[in-house]
Amino acid sequence: MIGILFSLALLMFLAFKGMSIIWIAPICAAIVALTGGLPLLPTYTDTYMTGFVGFTKSWFPAFMLGGIFGRLMEVSGGAQSVAHFITGLIGKKRAILAVSLGCIVLGYGGISVFVIAFAMYPLAVAVFREANITRKLIPGTLAFGMFTIAMTSLPGTPQIQNLIPMQYYKTTPMAAPITGIVTSLIMFFAGYIYLVWREKKYTERGEVFIEPTGAAVATLADVEKLPNPILSFLPLLAVVIVLNVLKQNIIIALVAGVLLSVMVNFPAIRKNMVDVINKGASNSVLAIINTSAAVGFGAVVRAVPGFKTLTDMVLGIEGNALLSEAIAVTTLAGATGSASGGMGIALAALGEKYVELSVSTGISLESFHRVASIASGGLDSLPHNGAILTVLAICGMTHKDSYMEMFVTTVLIPVIATLVAVVMGTMGIL
């Protein structure tokens, strides 16, 4: 038990220091193996790599196609065209609402959060300039739109955090729709009201828009050269419809999105289409290896004798099984700095137990799915999270400048929403 807890703490510390989980996860797994009495080399080559390869086998096609889809939408200008249309529709006076909704729409359409960040940042600068809002709020606004509703709680979202539970619970992306919608509304209104309040506080202190310098300078694409926003929206819509209405696998849904994106944006990408696809596929490899490394660590934890003690502790949490799952998922997401990685560890280790508890308690597996998904988007967004660091870097801000808004909208409020989901699931509300 000491080895497991120490390795989790070490994993979190090293990740916070900016070290890649690709190599720190095996080191921390080795500590678990040594303290758990397992042979070191066989544990790495067999137990760790079995967990690693098992996740890659299940999810590589989705990661790869998602990477290609996102890259096509980014390079063609399709993502920025949709975002520009939304911000124009809402108006620059409601800059925070426009930017956050743009992120939510792109996320629900299956675009990677990293692509969204790069596509939305220039637009955010433009509308924040027009509304004279301090740029310190841009990271919080982007994170609010990307890392909450569209990533975890909205039923039917094609983001990986909503798909991983399907593997363990045999559910669908639309699992527990009422719970998903209610928690989405809680996160949206609470986050938006908070950001508007922060805007007023900054303005009262005399902090308004200041032009970005250095790497944070934003170059807004020529609107006239952007593709038609309605046509650009079609690939996003196709992914959601094929996944949720036609009930097809995420691979089929993403293939539909990729093909439609190529068709509607062919003039913009025809000269470098192979390079675009190559880059998208390459980008996906790092993403899935990061998550697979975390899942491999979880497989080693599961193999040591101390895991039973840990399981009894987690499953014995006062309350119910949904609360146990929520705490396990969000704690491990915080330790790894990854929503999908933390969920992968938790469900690989405890998924079978929660299926058994679903049968014995009568709590629907759909509720377990939705709680796991929402919980993964809680403590994952602590300061060492890679996506948090990327957004701050894109915006030219530091943790001191902007992390408070990111913490409230992507950690504190989602944790509250998770508790609401636990209560609703316990009451039998799907």
According to the 3-state scheme, what is the secondary structure of 250-313?
HHHHHHHHHHHHHHHCHHHHCCCHHHHHHHHHHHHHHHHHHHHHHHHHHHHHHHCCHHHHHHHH
Whether the CA torsion 20, 306, 323, 244 is positive or negative: it is positive
pLDDT at 372 > cutoff 90: yes
pLDDT at 17 > cutoff 90: no
Among the listed ranges 155-159, 273-277, 282-286, 417-421, which one has the minimum average pLDDT value? 282-286
**Percent of the chain topping pLDDT 70:** 95
- Residue 417, CB half-sphere, CA atoms under 13 Å: how many? 36
Instruction: List, for residues 207-233, the tens digit of each pLDDT value.
Output: 998 888 766 666 666 667 788 888 988
pLDDT at 385 > cutoff 90: no
**Percent of the chain topping pLDDT 90:** 43
- Residue 333, CB half-sphere, CA atoms under 13 Å: how many? 26
- Are 383 and 399 within 8 A, CB to CB? yes
Virtual torsion, Cα 137, 138, 143, 148, nearest 10 deg: 70
In this structure, the chain runs to a length of 430
- Are 166 and 366 within 8 A, CB to CB? no
- Residues 89-95, mean pLDDT to the nearest whole number: 84
- Residue with the bigger pLDDT between 348 and 98: it is 98
pLDDT at 192 > cutoff 80: yes
pLDDT value at residue 20: 78
pLDDT at 193 > cutoff 80: yes
Q: What are phi and psi of 8, to 5 degrees?
A: -65, -45
Helix or strand holding residue 1 (H, E): none
| pTM assigned to the model | 0.82
**Gyration radius of the chain over CA positions:** 21
pLDDT value at residue 369: 97
The pair of three-digit structure tokens given for residue 304, joined into one six-digit string: 């040591």
- Are 126 and 132 within 8 A, CB to CB? no
Q: Tell me how far apart the alpha carbons of residues 316 and 324 are, in angstroms, rounded to a whole number.
A: 8
pLDDT at 243 > cutoff 80: yes
Q: Tell me how far apart the alpha carbons of residues 10 and 267 are, in angstroms, rounded to a whole number.
A: 50
Q: Tell me how far apart the alpha carbons of residues 302 and 26 are, in angstroms, rounded to a whole number.
A: 14
- In angstroms, the first-to-last Cα distance of the chain is 36
Amino acid at 135: R
Catalogue the long-range contacts made by 394-399 (C-beta closer than 8 Å, 24 or more residues apart).
Answer: 394/117, 394/118, 394/121, 394/216, 395/121, 395/135, 395/138, 395/139, 395/142, 395/212, 395/216, 396/135, 396/212, 396/213, 396/214, 396/215, 396/216, 397/135, 397/136, 397/138, 397/139, 397/216
Residue 304: band (very low, low, confident or very high) from pLDDT cuts 50, 70, 90: confident
